[in-house]
Amino acid sequence: MIPRTAELTVKRLALGFPIVAITGPRQAGKTTLARAVFAEKPYVSLEDPEEREFAAADPRRFLARFAEGAVIDEAQRCPDLFSYLQTVTDLRGRMGEFILTGSQQFGLMSGISQSLAGRVGLVQLLPFSMTELQAVGRLPEAVDTLLFQGGYPPLYDRPLQPNDWLPNYVMTYLERDVRQLLAVRDLALFQRFLKLCAARTGQLLNLSSLAVDCGISHVTARQWLSVLEAGYIVFLLPPYHRNFGKRLVKTPKLYFLDTGLAAHLLGIRNAPTLATHAQRGALFETLVVAEYVKRAFHAGQAADLYFWRDSAGHEVDLLSEQGGKLQAVEIKSGATLASDWFAALRRWQSFAGEETLPPVLIYGGDAVYQREGVEVMGWKSLAGS
């Protein structure tokens, strides 16, 4: 098992909450993490029809088997169990007793909010971060290789190629999560919607355009997008809310949380293709934003991330809130530094003034140094920052 940075978070939460929930996309390593950290606890999966039927028919007896708690996988498959978990954990008063995992955010989180509020420490586990891959010597040497492969664990702990694994992942996601949530009859149409979203990663979200291009209503497009968010396929980066004397864009930006999945949906079938691909810049920006999201989620925190753009088109790619101040991050996929890349950061500083931390420029090269008051970082620096 490749060690996860979220392991320390899970252990910390288990000291102060009777229940720890690990959620995230399918195949992100939730079960592996839970069983590794809590190896002494019995494990039960509610994907097993017999266990699920037992839990639904007689939840008290189902839980009575686990006097010292348990790891309950795919807990959202039996929502009635949550109320009984509340009773059991309140009675016993022990911390870190039950560990729940679930890959479907709506089902797991609705059960937690209704029955287990205040009793659950939540960790959102995403695919491998660059930090995790570098720690075991598995971080690709070339950025295009990383963009193409992404971070899903099966691509690093098994002899699998992205072109073999990702098509099956997409079909499993469509057949299981999408059918369960939406009862979509035309999965081919939803898959088209998924591909259209991939083509818009790194762009302002325009639901009307997305709906028209897919041939669905605006309401359906909004509903389908919420399912992609719930499954940790996409992330909506909100615009920063402060005005700074300018008219601001109020629409979020759409990002995939794994570049390998986005590249596959874009029809990219090998890493060298990315060198000249029109979407390379968007995929590189997606990689950087996803790394910042992973850093927050794996620490058990909300992703206090934004972008800033005014009505004149002036933009900062990413704003990271730290200690009440904002750090501006400009993202450029090119390997050779260009002097005009600093213009957006200088403009942002003139608007924001003392509310900002020293800005950062992350680019597709390797060098790390200071220039014009900006910390310039090569892409591999993300693994150690």
Could you give the domains of the chain? Answer: 6-124 (3.40.50.300), 130-383 (no CATH)
Q: What band does 105 get if pLDDT is binned at 50, 70 and 90?
A: low
81-92 vs 105-115: helix axis angle to the nearest 10? Answer: 50
Q: Which pLDDT does position 177 carry in this prediction? A: 78
Task: Say if residue 245's pLDDT is above 70.
Answer: no
pLDDT of residue 378: 97
pLDDT at site 104: 65
As a whole number of angstroms, the longest Cα–Cα distance in the chain is 68
pTM above 0.85, yes or no: yes
Residue 115 has pLDDT above 80, yes or no: no
pLDDT at residue 343 greater than cutoff 70 = yes
Q: How would residue 194 be classed by pLDDT, with cut points 50, 70 and 90? A: very high
Q: Are 361 and 369 in contact, with CB atoms under 8 Å apart?
A: no
Banded pLDDT at 244 (limits 50, 70, 90): low
pLDDT tens digits for range 202-231: 999 999 999 999 999 999 999 999 989 988
Three-state DSSP state, 70: strand
* Interstrand relation of 43-45 and 325-332 (parallel, antiparallel or unpaired): unpaired
> Sorting pLDDT into bands at 50, 70 and 90, what band is 106?
low
Res 73: pLDDT: 95
At residue 111, does pLDDT exceed 90?
Answer: no
pLDDT at 346 exceeding the cut of 70: yes
What is the reported pLDDT for 356?
83
Identify the CA nearest to 84 among candidates 62, 110, 65, 60. Answer: 60
* CA-based nearest residue to 283, from 307, 314, 257, 304: 257
| Distances 344 to 28, 268, 353, 359, 361 between C-alpha atoms, Å | 35, 31, 14, 10, 10
Choose among 30, 116, 50: nearest CA to 80.
Answer: 116
Percentage above 90 pLDDT, the chain: 76
Band (pLDDT 50/70/90 cuts) for residue 116 is confident
> Is 245 or 262 the better-scoring residue by pLDDT?
262
Tokens representing residue 188 in the block: 């081919």
**Distance, CA of 326 to chain centre:** 21
Rounded to whole angstroms, how far apart are CA atoms 137 and 261? 22
SS3 316: strand
Q: Please write the tens of the pLDDT for every residue from 148-181.
A: 999 999 999 999 999 999 999 999 887 777 877 7
Residue 381 pLDDT grade (very low, low, confident, very high; cuts 50, 70, 90)? very high
Q: Is the pLDDT of residue 308 over 70?
A: yes
Find all residues with CB under 8 Å of 218, minimum gap 6, and list them: 207, 208, 211
pLDDT confidence tier of residue 140, bands split at 50, 70 and 90: very high
The residue written with tokens 């719930």 in the block is: 230
* Single-letter code of the amino acid located at 349: Q
